[in-house]
Structure 1
């Protein structure tokens, strides 16, 4: 006998559909996602977008204003700096350097922080106490100040700036991973995994880590914006990327002496940093709201 359904089964949306439904309600996050995507594409395809080499000098076009001004020229869309280098090309190539360095810093900080956080969350006693106290000491010092101190000790340069910024970001990952592990340890699925004979490594990688990914994703976005600002600040102070590298902070540092004669050479790279950091923070806010399990779809 054929079964007749009186009520139509409602389709159950998957995790990705639920996430996107909540994420798209955050208009600012959508704008941040679009802007950040465009900046990332600009960084990836910078050789195709930039009209000139970022170090090429045009001696006949020193400190030319942007093209839309009365004294500007069309061949230099955003003007030139004091050495006649095309500012648009330097900003485009600088996006690759600034975003790439920030991504590398976040990867290093996340890898070390997650590992230390897992150790602190799964163990008790002297090891946990030592890890947490070291993290507390690092967190007690402002991140940029600590990065400057580290670079001053080990010497200026791009690799040292990467290590310094990564070190100041590690405690944030350690804290969030440890707190999330302690919260998950009280749940039934962790007890079931223990009874099944899972050791600490398998317990973390197969059971706990997939369930603490949402706060980690949010922390990655926040760390990315912090890394971008700190790397630009170190470059501005002459402790990070060195000339003629077109890193945004370094461009600002080289142009500050001409802020009155050529204000666009300072304003444009500053706006590039501002827009990028703002889009990352907006995206992070949207991810936090969309990944919050307490929020209903």
Structure 2
């Protein structure tokens, strides 16, 4: 005899399904995610999408306007710069360079920041005091200004720009990791792990870290947008990527003298930076709103 069900079974969505449902309600975050995916597509498939080499010069097409204008030609969708280089190809390849450099910066900052934050959160006394005071000193100086000072000491160049921007982002990770560890230390699951004999390293990696991932994910998104702006600013000042690298800040720096003769050579890379940073910030806002309920459940 078959069992008769009076009530209809209602599937309960998993944790990440609930997260996605909350994220989808944030219209701005979904729009930012769409733009960010397009930018990532440009970065990943630059050789396939760019019609020309970013450093190739067409001397007969100097400062040609975008294709949709009266004097533009279809071969150069976004026009050319003062050296006859295809601006669309440079922007596409620049997305790979700018996003790749920013990802390296955030990775370095997150690794060192989480490590130092864990040490400060799990220790007391002079170690915690020394780490936090150093972080406070770094935070007291504007990030871009500090990055310029660091590069002035170690010298300009792409690797040094990565290190400089990573250093100024580390304190943000340290502070958030330390604060969340201090909050988690008084919870039952941490006390139980300590009574079970877990040392500091095991306590952090196995018990605390999985429960502080939501604020860390949000911080990564915020650090990513900051890294893009700072790297572009250093490139604009001639302290980061050097010509002929098609980094967005470097493109702006090379085109600033032609803002009246060829305004598209400044407007287009500026819009690329603006749209990318805005998209990442919108995604970060959506992540924060979607992860708040998980965070509150601890």
1:45 counterpart = 2:45: yes
| CA apart distance, 1:51 | 0.4
Structure-2 residue corresponding to 1:140: 140
Cα distance, 1:157 vs structure 2: 0.5
Hey, what's the Cα distance between the residues in 2 that align with 1:278 and 1:250?
20
- Aligned counterpart, 1:233: 233
Secondary structure at the counterpart of residue 293 of structure 2 = coil
Q: Secondary structure at the match of 1:279?
A: helix
Query: Under a length normalisation based on structure 2, what TM-score does the superposition of the two structures give?
Result: 0.97
Counterpart of 1:176 in structure 2 is 176
Q: Is the 8 A contact 2:214 2:295 kept in 1?
A: no
For the 8 Å contact 2:81–2:87, the answer to whether it is kept is: yes
Alpha carbons 2:150, 2:164 under 8 Å: kept:
yes
Corresponding residue for residue 68 of structure 1: 68
Q: Could you say which residue in structure 1 is the equivalent of 2:116? A: 116
Q: State the Cα distance separating 1:8 from its structure 2 match.
A: 3.7
Where 1:56 maps in the other structure, the secondary structure is: coil
Paired residues of 2:63 and 2:84 also in contact (CA < 8 A): yes
Cα root mean square deviation, aligned? 1.4
Q: TM-score, normalised by structure 1?
A: 0.97
Contact 1:232 1:247 in 2 (8 A): yes
Q: Which moved more, 1:85-94 or 1:4-13?
A: 4-13
Where do residues 211-290 of structure 1 align in structure 2 (5 Å cutoff)? 211-290=211-290
Structure 2 counterpart SS, 1:10: coil
Following superposition, the deviation at residue 5 of structure 1 comes to: 5.1
The number of aligned residues is: 296
Select between 1-10 and 258-267 the one with higher mean Cα deviation.
Answer: 1-10
What residue is the counterpart of 1:162 in the other structure? 162
Asked whether the 8 Å contact 1:289–1:295 carries over to 2, the reply is no
Aligned residue for 1:205?
A: 205
Please list the CA deviations of residues 203-244 of structure 1 after superposition, one character each: whole Å capped at 9, or x if unmatched. 000100000000000000000000000000000000000000
Following superposition, the deviation at residue 16 of structure 1 comes to 1.0
- How many angstroms does 1:3 deviate by? 6.9
SS in 1 for 2:292: coil
- Shift, 1:2, TM fit: 7.9
Which residue pairs with 1:87 in the alignment?
Answer: 87
- Report if the CA contact (8 A) 1:165-1:227 is conserved: yes
2:20 equivalent to 1:11: no
- Residues 113-153 of structure 1 deviation map (CA, whole Å, 9 limit, x = unaligned): 00000000000000000000000000000101111111111
